[in-house]
Amino acid sequence: MTEAPATNVTLDEIVALCKRRGFVFPASEIYGGIASTYDYGHYGVLLKRNVKDEWWRAMLDGPDRIVALDSAIIQNPRVWEASGHLAGFSDPLVDCRTCKLRFRADKLEDSACGRKPSKHPGETEECDLTEPRQFHLMFKTHMGPVEDDAAVVYLRPETAQGIFVNFKNVLQFARVKPPFGIAQVGKSFRNEIVTGNFIFRTREFEQMEMEFFVPPAEAEKWYERWIERRREWYEELGIRPDYLRARPHEADELSHYSSATSDVEYRLPIGWQELEGIANRGDFDLTQHANHSGEKLEYFDQATGEAYVPHVIEPAAGVDRALLAFLVDAYDTDEVEGRRRTVLRLHPRLAPVKVAVLPLVSREGMPEKARAVYDSLRQRVGAEYDEGGSIGRRYRRQDEIGTPWGVTVDGQTLADDTVTLRDRDSLEQVRVPIVGLADELAARLELPWRSPKLA
Ligand code: ATP
């Protein structure tokens, strides 16, 4: 395993910031919460939306032909029969008879035993683990008013199968030919045995998945290319390269359908963890669905006069995990004018708010002027207006939510229509005219960006 530099933040600090600043809250909190389930607050929603937008941008506006899809969460149960989920989507589970906790047998090194001092399950003499049992991960529910077996349906455990079952529809309308992709973002559900580590592993989460259909002879080439592209995506959005790696799976880790898989991993405070898997799935899925449905799921190549089943390269990422990695990577503290400051050094395109407009004081016509500046910016770049409290406190708040730029309206603004523009990272303040400010910020958002933590 690659040795990585230590992170400068704990998961607890991230959880506290998320709660304090309205990114993420425990779900149903006033009723005591519900295990490993979270709600996203305003800034969390904005950040998540930016992560998804950047993913869509990379997929739809990239060099390849990729089309979008939004399939249903509840599909015909036969989909899960064909995909192998009904028979095989399970994890090995062990119980500890001593501490009464339950663990995933293949993730014991990531779990903590229930007794103090905390060790991994099985590490102490007192640990008394049962033999592993298979635990099914799909959430079951009933469709229709009568709870009989005929109406059993499942919440999708991945978005990918919705793509495979629409392969024929897409071929018909989109006039695509391999290599081409179908991309989808949406919620998935897994009744995970071991959850935890905040939003890293939850039972309800969002995925960003793309199935890339290629001629079989090109599968290896595209597999390598997508590993590279997906690693670059995180780096271009500011993740420091030393904290990111692509790790090929060992033979015994591979899923039954996959001939090769690599994980893009990030070094979280809890160690190296998977953000995304890139798998070479061969023709497994299309063949399975063709066999189970009786539909032909092939591509007819006009040039050769032959039909074939395309092979599939799948980059499958988690929105929540990406968001967590971006938060951890961005988290920083420094000292400003003798006071400790917490700052999220997020890529400006990911930042929930791009610019805060602040009147220096809330009198002497400054709030009115600042509101006018805010109105002129908000349609072009995500802006926020804030006039409550001292200017220092307002900046600290914006630093904590990662706002890259701050515009202050002061006495001079009223005289000459200029404002100060403050940079979150360098803390540099320059005087700029209000005219052209929206253009300037919009242009800055398109510039390549590098984490100032690398300096
Ligand atoms: P793990 O080994 O961590 O359980 P996985 O290999 O089963 O993950 P995939 O089936 O490859 O995950 O799903 C693709 C992506 O979906 C993962 O890389 C991850 O980002 C996200 N994901 C999967 N399960 C969860 C979960 N329980 N909570 C949050 N995100 C998840």
CA of 263 to the centre of ligand 1 (A): 10
Q: Whose CA is nearest to atom 6 of ligand 1?
A: 277
Beta strands in 12-164 (DSSP E): 24-26, 38-40, 66-69, 90-95, 102-104, 133-136, 140-142, 152-154
Domains, in order of start, for the chain? 11-89+137-327 (3.30.930.10), 91-134 (no CATH), 353-454 (3.40.50.800)
Q: Hey, which of 321, 323, 324, 326 would you mutate to test ligand 1's pocket, going by the most ligand atoms within 8 Å of its Cβ?
A: 321
Residue 44, sorted as left (phi over 0), alpha (psi -120 to 50) or beta, turns out to be: alpha
The model's pTM is 0.91
Angle in degrees, CA 233, 263, 155, rounded to 5: 95
pLDDT tens-digit readout, 222-261: 999 999 999 999 999 999 999 999 999 998 888 777 889 9
CA of 158 to the centre of ligand 1 (A): 9
Nearest to 135 by CA among 94, 80, 188: 94
Q: Whose CA is nearest to atom 22 of ligand 1?
A: 318
pLDDT tens-digit readout, 108-149: 888 888 777 778 888 888 888 888 877 788 999 999 877 776
Q: Whose CA is nearest to atom 10 of ligand 1?
A: 158
Band of residue 420 on the pLDDT scale cut at 50, 70, 90: very high
Band of residue 1 on the pLDDT scale cut at 50, 70, 90: very low
CA of 317 to the centre of ligand 1 (A): 7
Which residues have any ligand 1 atom within 6 Å of their CB? 158, 190, 192, 201-202, 205, 207, 274-277, 316-318, 320-321
CA of 224 to the centre of ligand 1 (A): 20
pLDDT tens-digit readout, 306-335: 999 999 999 999 999 999 999 999 999 999
The answer to whether 323 and 46 have CB atoms below 8 angstroms apart is no
The answer to whether 156 and 205 have CB atoms below 8 angstroms apart is no
CA of 276 to the centre of ligand 1 (A): 7
